Amino acid sequence: MGSGLEPEYVERREVGDQTWLVVAADTGTVWPQLEEFVRSRQLNVLESSASQGVIVTPKRKYACKAHCAQAAAKSAVKAAAKP
């Protein structure tokens, strides 16, 4: 059963100091892309946990989490400023 979203679907959402992308892909697809994003920008990674879906840099915490909407999986990648 598909998500009902186009494969290229990306939506930016923001609440307070948290910003995230909702994408039509599962976390197994999104996580390697998030790692490549951090690596390509040569960000100093302080912590990385694929099992928790978290990458922490001095300025941001990136989190990759699966969400279900209308019985189909979507992923959200959050980039929140560290307190």
What are the residues whose beta carbons fall under 8 Å from the beta carbon of 16, sequence distance 6 or more? none
pLDDT (tens digit per residue) in 13-60: 888 888 888 888 888 888 888 889 889 999 999 999 988 888 899 988
Residue 67 has pLDDT above 70, yes or no: no
- CA-closest candidate to residue 22, choices 79, 61, 60, 71: 79
pTM of the entire predicted model: 0.65
Domain span at residue 75 reads 10-81
Residue 77 or 60, more confident: 60
Q: What is the pLDDT of residue 8?
A: 72
pLDDT at residue 70, as a whole number: 40
Question: Which domain CATH number covers 40?
Answer: 3.30.530.50
User: Which letter does DSSP use for residue 29 in this model?
Assistant: H
In a domain, 2, yes or no: no
**Cα gap 4→51, rounded to integer Å:** 27
Q: How far apart are CA 51 and CA 53, in angstroms?
A: 6
Total number of domains constituting the chain? 1
Mean pLDDT across 61-68? 76
